[in-house]
């Protein structure tokens, strides 16, 4: 059996003029999972069956990734377009509201959706992705600037694609190993699947267009105060995004819980799946009344 097979079902949906691939399992309230870079729906493999015990779980391939459509123009990746993708998925699945969960770039899209249509989002969970207003401030000084220097490289045309493709997509493997503290959680067979997904025709440019198209649209946007109950999960040893990027988030979110996970880098849901599942289930099922700015773990 392929690692891509499981208790879930593979399907496609058309949203905002884009054909998106997803896997789904379970019935009940909708839980929508949005992956980050350089992954695809598979990064949620250890969450889908657990969450599906009491919910309808849908893990998307975001536009530009794996089996979903891959527009090549960076302007197709401005935040407003990505928001329309997700709202269209919620509608297309026949739901009025959903629990929204996002990691890395999926987290940034989730922030955008929660701001755009707060009445459609029951709860928000963001993993390893700062609030957009905090990102614009770049707390952590030069250390965080150095961690984020790849953002400048990824703005360039064609060169990043060549670097990521070189050596049979060896850079994809390097990124996954470097950004994970609990490296045993991402096996060689898992890395091979991420490399295969990146090798899909047009995928590298699609993936990089989040840096070229989405990032500028986020930095240009003005963000107010979010009313959706929100939890953040963050690896204490994340080499990409320091914990300083969680500080002062309470200034922008009315109800906030933050959990910091030990022995955990950037790929939170893969490195500490049991803890992530616990925190997600608690948030989805009980939605504890956190005090504004309450860091609980």
Active site residue 104: yes
In angstroms, rounded to a whole number, what is the distance separating the alpha carbons of residues 205 and 48?
A: 28
- Of the candidates 210, 211, 252, 279, the residue annotated as catalytic is 211
- Of the candidates 61, 69, 104, 238, the residue annotated as catalytic is 104
In angstroms, rounded to a whole number, what is the distance separating the alpha carbons of residues 26 and 49?
A: 8
Give the residue carrying structure tokens 């949620």. 44
Active site residue 211: yes
Give the residue carrying structure tokens 């969970």. 125
Closest by Cα among 101, 237, 105 to 180: 237
Residues 6+ apart with CB under 8 A from 69: 18, 19, 20, 63
Between the alpha carbon of residue 13 and those of residues 25, 45, 94, 120, 254, the distances in Å are 15, 20, 12, 19, 33
Can you tell me whether residue 130 is helix, strand or coil?
A: coil
DSSP string, 133-169: HHHHH-TTHHHHHHHTTHHHHTTSSSHHHHHHHHHHH
In angstroms, rounded to a whole number, what is the distance separating the alpha carbons of residues 137 and 172?
A: 28
- Of the candidates 35, 99, 259, 266, the residue annotated as catalytic is 266
Active site residue 262: no
Residues acting as catalytic residues: 104, 211, 266
């Amino acid at each position: 059996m392929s690692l891509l097979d499981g208790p879930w079902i593979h399907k496609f949906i058309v949203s905002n003029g884009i054909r998106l691939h997803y896997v789904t399992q379970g019935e009940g309230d909708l839980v929508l999972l949005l992956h980050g870079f350089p992954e695809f729906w598979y990064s949620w493999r250890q969450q889908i069956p657990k969450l599906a015990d009491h919910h309808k779980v849908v893990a998307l391939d975001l536009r530009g990734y794996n089996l979903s459509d891959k527009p090549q123009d960076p302007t197709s990746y401005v935040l407003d377009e990505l928001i329309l993708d997700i709202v269209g998925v919620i509608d297309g699945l026949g739901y009025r509201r959903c629990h929204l969960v996002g990691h890395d770039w999926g987290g940034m899209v989730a922030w955008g959706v929660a701001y755009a249509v707060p009445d459609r989002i029951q709860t928000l969970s963001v993993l390893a992705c700062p609030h957009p207003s905090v990102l614009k401030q770049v707390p952590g000084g030069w250390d965080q600037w150095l961690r984020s220097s790849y953002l400048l490289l990824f703005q360039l045309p064609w060169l990043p694609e060549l670097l990521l493709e070189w050596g049979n997509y060896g850079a994809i493997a390097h990124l996954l190993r470097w950004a994970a503290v609990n490296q045993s959680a991402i096996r060689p067979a898992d890395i091979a699947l991420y490399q295969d997904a990146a090798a899909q025709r047009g995928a590298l440019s699609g993936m990089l267009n989040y840096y070229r198209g989405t990032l500028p649209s986020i930095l240009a946007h003005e963000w107010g105060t979010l009313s959706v109950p929100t939890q953040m999960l963050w690896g204490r040893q994340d080499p990409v995004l320091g914990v300083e990027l969680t500080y002062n988030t309470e200034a922008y979110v009315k109800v906030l819980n933050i959990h910091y996970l030990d022995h955990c880098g950037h790929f939170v849901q893969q490195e500490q799946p049991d803890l992530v599942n616990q925190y997600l289930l608690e948030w989805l099922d009980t939605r504890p009344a956190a005090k504004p700015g309450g860091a609980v773990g």
